[in-house]
């Protein structure tokens, strides 16, 4: 069969991420992956978020991938936040969270205008699960809509089952342990550790809208792979009664050092300096410490982390956010910490080229906040983890990695520390000796540690195979595109592993 690949016959996906780093990063990877599979893509963003990924936009332009980055204005002034606060990680006040999320729906009208201006009309909207307002856009314009879930399928299924059994409302005590129902494994949590997204007072409408958006979606996409979460993917699809496609790990789209280093934001340190430093270290000897884009720590906690790293005697790379570099921390680092660890430590002050670091052979462990992007990046590169969950999906992600997959060591944190932790006097302080012990267990864990590392390496190999031509996620991506084309009345065929189309 001869397949024509004319531009007008290609599927056109409109991707609508939540403007938060952990949500945007995998969607940018997805955009490029869809384009590699023969689709056209429009990725909705804002001026500030586009500036953060300008190196990626430039690479896309040079490679002639059919991707358009569509910048919509974010209504900062209207919701009372400073101009330029166009990403969740730029918010400094807990009170601005709700207005910020509500303001996302202001994209509805300009998004409709953009879609209507396209000829031919876009084929499918892929919307972050936290953007339920896209439900009305798809309904109004008669376009198929998929929900993209950024967290692990394990978490998504747990949250779905807890909601379905109404446990968030039936259980009053935040600390009362309960079993998550209808799971293929035994999982015990409490409401403090499994709060669900938007399951707080004042957020009821957004929570209900997200549930409805998932229920009415044409299909679900998840950033995971079958060999990692098969029983949970299978159970989730069965519970929803619709197709669930695992299409990850999306981070593995990035193959070369420059591509890995430019994900998400412009790094605060030159990636070549980091790689050169890592090249001087033995394989699996370096511990990498990073807590994502939102989790922030008090000065006392920063000092405890540093003291634990110092006591561990392991080479390390430690990422400290600019917001955490208060005068007290700066003084301690300069006058005490750097002198004691300068031969074996590297501090990154700001955004880190994380994927480039985790993919280096010298890195043997990650201390993580348990955000799914970081966990999946680590697992995909065969790197085991020390788990320190902070909020949202992270405690359940920890249970998956420590108890089910058995590639992690838990620090034993029991209560949440929200992203405004720098202002909180009630946050649980993790002691330096606990950090030292967990790092030692991960890096020098004897037979148990060796087996944990081998399991991580096996998952890393399976992750790479999933994304290669003929792998499960590769096949799922093609199947998903074919499904969309059938929905839109176009006929597709496979050619050299990718999808080409006849009008």
End-to-end CA distance of the chain: 14
pLDDT at 145: 97
Q: Strands of 12-16's sheet, edge to edge?
A: 67-71, 40-45, 12-16, 124-128, 145-149, 219-222, 244-246
Domain match, 310 and 326 both: yes
pLDDT at 341 over 90: yes
**CATH number for the domain that contains residue 494:** 3.40.50.2000
pLDDT at 493 over 60: no
Distances (CA, A) of 202 to 104, 170, 223, 228, 295: 17, 18, 29, 36, 23
Domain match, 239 and 289 both: no
Range of weakest confidence among 134-138, 229-233, 463-467, 482-486: 482-486
More confident residue, 350 or 380: 380
pLDDT-derived band at 418 (thresholds 50, 70, 90) equals low
Say if pTM beats, i.e. exceeds, 0.75.
yes
Domain match, 365 and 430 both: yes
| Per-residue pLDDT reduced to its tens digit, 440-479 | 999 987 899 999 999 999 999 999 999 999 999 999 999 9
Domain total of the chain: 2
pLDDT at 461: 98
Range of weakest confidence among 259-268, 403-412, 468-477: 259-268
Average pLDDT over residues 23-27: 94
Average pLDDT over residues 230-257: 94
pLDDT-derived band at 343 (thresholds 50, 70, 90) equals confident
Task: Measure CA 242 to chain center.
Answer: 23
Domain match, 393 and 483 both: no
pLDDT at 413 over 90: yes
- Quick one: what percent of the chain has pLDDT higher than 90? 72
Could you please report the per-residue DSSP string of 242-305? S-EEE---GGGG--SHHHHHTSSS--SS-HHHHHHHHHTSPTT-EEEEE-TTT----HHHHHHH
pLDDT at 501 over 50: no
Nearest alpha-carbon partner for 221 in 473, 498, 500, 491: 473
Domain match, 132 and 234 both: yes
CB burial string 109-136: b at 16+ within 10 A, e below = eebeebbeeeeeebbbbbbbbbbbbbbe
Domain match, 324 and 378 both: yes
pLDDT at 419: 55
Domain match, 459 and 472 both: no
Domain match, 296 and 434 both: yes
pLDDT at 490: 54
Residues 6+ apart with CB under 8 A from 46: 19, 71, 72, 73, 74, 86
Question: Could you tell me if residue 201 is inside a domain?
Answer: no
Phi, psi for residue 31 in degrees, rounded to 5: -60, -45
pLDDT at 8: 61
pLDDT at 424 over 50: no
pLDDT at 428: 77
Q: Give yes or no for a contact between 217 and 138, defined as CB atoms under 8 angstroms apart.
A: no
Question: Could you tell me if residue 170 is inside a domain?
Answer: no
pLDDT at 392: 87
Question: Could you tell me if residue 175 is inside a domain?
Answer: no
More confident residue, 168 or 326: 326
CB burial string 7-26: b at 16+ within 10 A, e below = eebbbbbbbbbbbbbbbbbb
Question: Could you tell me if residue 391 is inside a domain?
Answer: yes
Nearest alpha-carbon partner for 319 in 381, 371, 280, 392: 371
Question: Could you tell me if residue 190 is inside a domain?
Answer: no
pLDDT-derived band at 494 (thresholds 50, 70, 90) equals very low
Mean pLDDT, rounded, of the chain: 90
Domain match, 91 and 238 both: yes
In three-state form (DSSP H/G/I as H, E/B as E, the rest C), the secondary structure along 403-444 is HHCCCEEECCCCCCCCCCHHHCCCCCCCCHHHHHHHHHHHHC
pLDDT at 88 over 80: yes
Average pLDDT over residues 347-370: 94
More confident residue, 496 or 311: 311
Q: What is the DSSP letter of 74?
A: -
Question: Could you tell me if residue 211 is inside a domain?
Answer: no
Q: Give yes or no for a contact between 115 and 122, defined as CB atoms under 8 angstroms apart.
A: yes
Domain match, 378 and 488 both: no
Question: Could you tell me if residue 100 is inside a domain?
Answer: yes
| Per-residue pLDDT reduced to its tens digit, 112-150 | 999 999 988 899 999 999 999 999 999 999 999 999 999
Distances (CA, A) of 310 to 30, 255, 342: 39, 33, 10
- Quick one: what percent of the chain has pLDDT higher than 70? 93
Distance, CA of 420 to CA of 414 (rounded, Å): 18
pLDDT-derived band at 295 (thresholds 50, 70, 90) equals confident
| Per-residue pLDDT reduced to its tens digit, 368-382 | 999 999 999 999 999
Q: Give yes or no for a contact between 396 and 189, defined as CB atoms under 8 angstroms apart.
A: yes
Phi, psi for residue 8 in degrees, rounded to 5: -70, -15
Distance, CA of 26 to CA of 168 (rounded, Å): 29
Residues 6+ apart with CB under 8 A from 200: none
Nearest alpha-carbon partner for 42 in 11, 79, 75, 63: 11
Whole domain around residue 224: which residue ranges? Answer: 7-153+217-247+468-502
pLDDT at 486: 87
Question: Could you tell me if residue 346 is inside a domain?
Answer: yes
Domain match, 472 and 495 both: yes
Say if strands 498-502 and 491-495 run parallel, antiparallel, or are unpaired: antiparallel
Domain match, 127 and 20 both: yes
pLDDT-derived band at 6 (thresholds 50, 70, 90) equals low
pLDDT at 426: 56
Distance, CA of 330 to CA of 390 (rounded, Å): 24
């Amino acid at each position: 069969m001869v397949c024509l690949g004319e531009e007008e016959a290609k599927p056109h996906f409109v991707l609508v991420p939540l403007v938060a780093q952990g949500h945007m990063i995998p969607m940018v990877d997805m955009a490029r992956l869809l384009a590699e599979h023969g689709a056209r893509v429009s990725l909705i963003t804002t001026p500030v978020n586009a500036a953060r990924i300008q190196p990626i936009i430039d690479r896309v332009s040079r490679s002639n991938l059919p991707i358009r980055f569509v910048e919509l204005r974010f209504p900062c002034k209207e919701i009372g936040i400073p101009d330029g606060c166009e990403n969740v990680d730029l918010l400094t006040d807990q009170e601005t969270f709700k207005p910020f999320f509500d303001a996302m729906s202001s994209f509805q009208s300009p998004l409709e205008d953009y879609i209507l201006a396209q000829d031919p009309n876009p084929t499918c909207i892929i919307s972050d699960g936290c953007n339920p307002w896209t439900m009305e856009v798809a309904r109004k314009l008669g376009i198929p809509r998929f929900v993209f879930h950024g967290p692990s399928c394990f978490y998504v299924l747990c949250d779905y089952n807890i909601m379905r059994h109404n446990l968030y409302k039936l259980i009053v005590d935040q600390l009362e342990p309960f079993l998550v129902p209808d799971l293929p494994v035994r999982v015990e949590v409490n409401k403090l550790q499994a709060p669900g997204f938007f399951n707080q007072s004042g957020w009821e409408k957004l929570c209900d809208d997200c549930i409805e958006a998932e229920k009415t979606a044409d299909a679900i996409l998840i950033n995971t792979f079958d060999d990692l979460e098969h029983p949970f993917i299978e159970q989730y699809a069965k519970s929803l009664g619709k197709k669930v496609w695992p299409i990850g790990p999306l981070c593995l789209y990035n193959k070369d050092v420059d591509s890995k280093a430019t994900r998400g934001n412009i790094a605060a340190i030159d990636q070549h300096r980091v790689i050169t430093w890592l090249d001087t270290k033995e394989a699996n000897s370096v511990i990498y410490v990073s807590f994502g884009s939102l989790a922030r720590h008090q000065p006392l906690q920063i000092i405890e982390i540093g003291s634990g790293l110092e006591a561990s005697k392991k080479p390390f790379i430690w990422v400290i956010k600019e917001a955490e570099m208060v005068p007290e921390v700066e003084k301690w680092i300069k006058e005490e910490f750097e002198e004691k660890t300068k031969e074996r430590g590297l501090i990154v002050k700001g955004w880190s080229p994380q994927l480039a670091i985790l993919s280096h052979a010298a890195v043997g462990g990650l201390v993580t906040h348990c955000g799914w992007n970081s966990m999946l990046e680590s697992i995909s590169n065969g790197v085991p983890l020390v788990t320190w969950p902070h909020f949202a999906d992270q405690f359940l992600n920890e249970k998956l990695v420590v108890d089910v997959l058995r590639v992690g060591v838990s620090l034993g944190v029991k209560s949440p520390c929200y992203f405004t932790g720098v202002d909180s006097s009630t946050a649980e302080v993790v002691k330096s000796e606990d950090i030292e012990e967990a790092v030692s267990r991960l890096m020098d864990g004897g037979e148990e540690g060796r087996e944990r590392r081998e399991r991580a390496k096996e998952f890393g190999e399976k992750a790479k195979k999933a994304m290669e031509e003929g792998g499960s996620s590769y096949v799922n991506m093609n199947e998903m595109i074919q499904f969309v084309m059938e929905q839109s009345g176009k006929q597709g065929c496979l050619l050299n592993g990718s999808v080409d189309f006849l009008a």
